[in-house]
Structure 1
Amino acid sequence: MPFPSSSSAPPFVLTRSLKSTTKDDQLFAAFPVEIRVEIFRHYIGELFPVDKTNAGPLLLLRVSRAWRNLVLHTPQLWSSFSLDVQRATVLHGQRLISALKYWLKQSRHVSLTFKLRYPVLDTVCTKLFQEILSASYRWRDATLHAPSASLLSLWEAKQDSFPALRSLSVETVGLSPFLIPDLGLNWAQLVTLDLFLITIPTLDDCLHILEQGVNLTACSLNAVCVLDTRDPQRVIVLPKMKDLELKLYNGDHISPSETSLHAFLDKLDCPALRSFGVSWNLIDHWTQPDKLFAFLNRIGAHLESLNLGYLPLTTPQIVQALKAVPFLRHLSLALSQADRENDYINNEFFRALEDTALVPRLQSVHLNCNGESFKNSSLLCFMASRWKYHGGGGQLEALDIVSPKRQAKYRPKRFQDLKEGKLDVRASLKSESSMLRVVAAYLNKDSYEMLCFMNSDFPSDIRSLLHL
């Protein structure tokens, strides 16, 4: 049933009998309006789906006259919404468009927080975006995941079309005739930015954004490693940047991709950076890893989170990188799961991390790797040296291993470890301090004859430490 164009409640709400104010209504009405609105907002939550007619503000409309009146006169309840659609029929598309129009009208002039995810190119997607774009002057936090062709109007909008915009996330599907410099946005007004665009921007495009985005605190960009190096003295200061993530692809081969990346990093001055991530979707081997170490040294005094994905480094080089970030708390490393030969998550890696003088504040480790280059004994020694509740001075509270033949997750009072169909052990602990004693019961060997290591297979003294 379509949504109405008027400001009154939808027809299906009006068909319900509206009860007179009850005793509960009187108790609720005793609260100040501001508190009642906050209660409703807490119930509705963030980014409520506009096509749900049996929940959210549309459900609140049905409860009583008092609630209906409050909901219809509180635009904040309609100003945060989502549309997550894989594909819509003509009829479904009409309902979505009507629903979106109704929410936009009910939200009046309040700033909008929204998410549109519609990855299929069709007229419904384009019309939905046009409706949202018509309220661009109210955009505050905008998330768009749609075909490039459906978002062409975004590139055609004028710079003053988004005066309230503070956070923007755009992921496109399919090639676009427009490039980053064509996007008429005032980058200086943004606080957070997340772009994953096709056509892929260049590192020069990224510099164009960062040079103007002086108020950015978090930024994630994908880029091909193409950079104009004719201005080597150019430095971009990002005084508020706390979180920077780069997803990189091969360049034009005129200038090596590694050289372009290092030149790009040399131009960045991020005195407040707390988190840095780089994913290297190339097969090239690095010839100058020292330049990466130099960048990490520059930001290492305040860096707390490091995410390195598919970098062609060796174990000694990874250890060297970690020496540059002494205050690191969160480490995430990803490698090709099919490449055992170059898997630097090995015995040498875990032995190096046994030394708690290296990143002594490390709290969480996430490893995505081949998983066959280290022994259980090395993993156990690493955990024994780092586990926060072991009494050795370590701070480690979370360890994840993701590989084709092993999935492991360790937390203060629970764990699971599945290995190649020969090991399946998981348990909840009564105390965090028991973790190493329990895991040593099965990590002290590297081969298993049984197909499943159940809790009942633990010795009785170990079973007493578990919640069975």
Structure 2
Amino acid sequence: MSVKIAPLLLGRICSGWRTIALSTPRLWSSIHVPEPYAKLPQYVRDGCLQLMKTWLTRSGGLPLSISFHKRHPPGSSPFLDTIVSLSSRWKHISLSGQNRIQLSRADVPILKSIEVSDYVVGDGPTETRDFFCGVAVRKVSIGTDLDPIQLPLPWAQLTALSLHRPSDPHLFSQSSLTSNLSSSTALTILAECRSLCECTLFLSPSADETIAPPSSVELPLLASLKISVIACGGSLLQQHDPLDRLLLPQLSSFALTGYRANPVGIPLSTLVSNATKLQNVEVDTTFFTRETLVTFIRLLPPCVQHLILRQNVICPNAPSFVDNDFLLLLTPPSQRVDGSDAGFLFPELDTIQLIYTAAFSDEALLGFIRARMGVHRLGRVRVKFLRYVERDILPELRSFIDEFGLSVSLE
């Protein structure tokens, strides 16, 4: 509730603007509420509560978009109680902290999207806490240490799903890097989500793998898939991972992030090789050896336009595989100084970002950019090196920057 930003800022321009702002309910139909610290004087907390109620009153009867962050300790909150009393008007709700919501699906008739960072089971019968299954709910993002397959979610009607770990460390049952979602459980859940367009999964090798997943799952509408893994041990995302059975004909954006110690095989090779419409790819190189990374890149379809290769900060001393020879894979054969005629990957590449993975020279990067600009103009090049500058190549790229709008960031 800052007076430096809208809508409060609009009331400080002049009396005319203030009148318009106060009489325009749509300006007040979104609000973020961080609950004040418990140690603050009661009159301060009471004042904040009254401000929130005034803000919400100005929204009239419009649908509400609300985010609420509750600090420790857990317990009742007059702020949350006020928000819950308006549940029939919820359109988007985001909750973080240990909030136990006692609402049924009938209490949220227009609710479309839910984000809960730290989901815990509330008291009372199931039917009084199944607001996740509201008739209009289409997007759900939930962080929990509970078994995801037991969550009260309307899988079949979801178009966006995110299953991640809790943000509150007090809720972790094992360690700060674990979740209860395995590849087998994830595939079993996805088999029920035929309407999905976007999906984000946080996987852990410590999760239960006793479920027998389906032999294959096709999600005909899924366009974006993000998988995050912290696998310091175990067999997660090996050569024949259950998630490699996904068939995603409309997939255009894929991300594999996290950390994998002692990588073996090519993770999700079948999934990406069958994704013929893939345009945006982001992967962490700690999932690969040099050989498997090259093979993985060659499996990607030629229509890739945005490529991000990063090295997770958990393992800053891992070897970098993106060297001079690797850049040649992305260099047009007619422009190569070594005369090699190996296949040319991603002819429509627009953006390349190499984050802490660069093992090539500044001279090789200059040659790569020049070669690509001579065939298909790059829009953005971003490289984060783990070394000092060898040669300042920006002056030699100035013509591309000025004439074609090339964005270059070298750190």
What TM-score do the two structures reach when normalised by structure 1? 0.64
Q: Is the aligned partner of 1:166 residue 2:112? A: yes
Alpha carbons of structure 1 residues 366 and 190: separation in structure 2 relative to 1, 3 Å: same
Q: Say whether the 8 Å CA contact 1:315–1:348 is kept in structure 2.
A: no
Q: Is the aligned partner of 1:102 residue 2:89? A: no
- SS of match in other structure, 2:257: strand
State the match for 1:136 in structure 2. 87
Corresponding letter in the other structure for 1:132: I
Please identify, of 362-371 and 208-217, the stretch whose mean Cα deviation from structure 2 is larger: 208-217
State the match for 1:348 in structure 2. 325
2:378 to 396, 400, 404: 396
The correspondence of residues 210-229 of structure 1 with structure 2, limited to 5 A, is 210-225=190-205, 226=207, 228=209
Corresponding letter in the other structure for 2:46: Q
Q: Is the aligned partner of 1:242 residue 2:228? A: no
Q: Is the aligned partner of 1:297 residue 2:269? A: no
Per-residue CA deviations over 1:164-209 (Å, capped at 9, x if unaligned) read 3333444349996644345433344443344432242313553455
Q: Which runs of no fewer than 5 residues in structure 2 stay unpaired? A: 121-142, 167-171, 173-178, 334-343
Identity %: 22
Alpha carbons of structure 1 residues 125 and 214: separation in structure 2 relative to 1, 3 Å: farther
Within 1, Cα distance between the matches of 2:364 and 2:36?
A: 45
Within 1, Cα distance between the matches of 2:192 and 2:107?
A: 18
Per-residue CA deviations over 1:134-161 (Å, capped at 9, x if unaligned) read 43343333334x33xx2333xx543454
Q: CA deviation at 1:262?
A: 1.6
The correspondence of residues 87-98 of structure 1 with structure 2, limited to 5 A, is 89-91=39-41, 92-98=44-50
Within 1, Cα distance between the matches of 2:36 and 2:202?
A: 24
State the match for 2:236 in structure 1. 257
Alpha carbons of structure 1 residues 398 and 159: separation in structure 2 relative to 1, 3 Å: same
Corresponding letter in the other structure for 1:277: A
State the match for 2:284 in structure 1. 309
Q: CA deviation at 1:312?
A: 2.8
- SS of match in other structure, 1:258: coil
Corresponding letter in the other structure for 2:148: I
Per-residue CA deviations over 1:393-434 (Å, capped at 9, x if unaligned) read 22321111124436xxxxxxxxxxxx39x9696899576466
State the match for 1:333 in structure 2. 309
Alpha carbons of structure 1 residues 192 and 89: separation in structure 2 relative to 1, 3 Å: farther
State the match for 2:360 in structure 1. 374
Corresponding letter in the other structure for 1:271: P
State the match for 1:10 in structure 2. none
Q: Say whether the 8 Å CA contact 1:350–1:382 is kept in structure 2.
A: yes
Within 2, Cα distance between the matches of 1:260 and 1:125?
A: 48
Q: CA deviation at 1:248?
A: 1.4
Corresponding letter in the other structure for 1:240: L
Within 2, Cα distance between the matches of 1:177 and 1:320?
A: 35
2:345 to 358, 361, 369: 358
Q: Is the aligned partner of 1:279 residue 2:261? A: no
Q: Which runs of no fewer than 5 residues in structure 1 stay unpaired? A: 1-50, 407-418, 444-468
Alpha carbons of structure 1 residues 348 and 425: separation in structure 2 relative to 1, 3 Å: closer
Instruction: Answer with 1 or 2: which has the greater Rg.
Output: 1
State the match for 1:81 in structure 2. 31
1:405 to 387, 391, 394: 387
Q: Say whether the 8 Å CA contact 1:242–1:275 is kept in structure 2.
A: yes
Q: Is the aligned partner of 1:318 residue 2:293? A: yes
- SS of match in other structure, 1:308: strand
Q: Is the aligned partner of 1:151 residue 2:90? A: no
Alpha carbons of structure 1 residues 293 and 252: separation in structure 2 relative to 1, 3 Å: closer
Alpha carbons of structure 1 residues 136 and 237: separation in structure 2 relative to 1, 3 Å: farther
Corresponding letter in the other structure for 2:362: N
1:112 to 64, 78, 81: 64
- SS of match in other structure, 1:152: coil
Q: Say whether the 8 Å CA contact 2:163–2:201 is kept in structure 1.
A: yes
Corresponding letter in the other structure for 1:393: V
Root mean square deviation, CA, Å: 4.0
Q: Say whether the 8 Å CA contact 1:139–1:165 is kept in structure 2.
A: yes
The correspondence of residues 41-80 of structure 1 with structure 2, limited to 5 A, is 51-53=1-3, 56-58=6-8, 60=10, 71-80=21-30
Within 2, Cα distance between the matches of 1:214 and 1:224?
A: 24
Within 2, Cα distance between the matches of 1:57 and 1:86?
A: 21
Q: Say whether the 8 Å CA contact 1:194–1:219 is kept in structure 2.
A: yes
Q: Say whether the 8 Å CA contact 2:321–2:357 is kept in structure 1.
A: no
Q: Say whether the 8 Å CA contact 1:201–1:224 is kept in structure 2.
A: yes
Within 1, Cα distance between the matches of 2:230 and 2:284?
A: 12
Alpha carbons of structure 1 residues 303 and 78: separation in structure 2 relative to 1, 3 Å: same
> Number of aligned pairs?
359
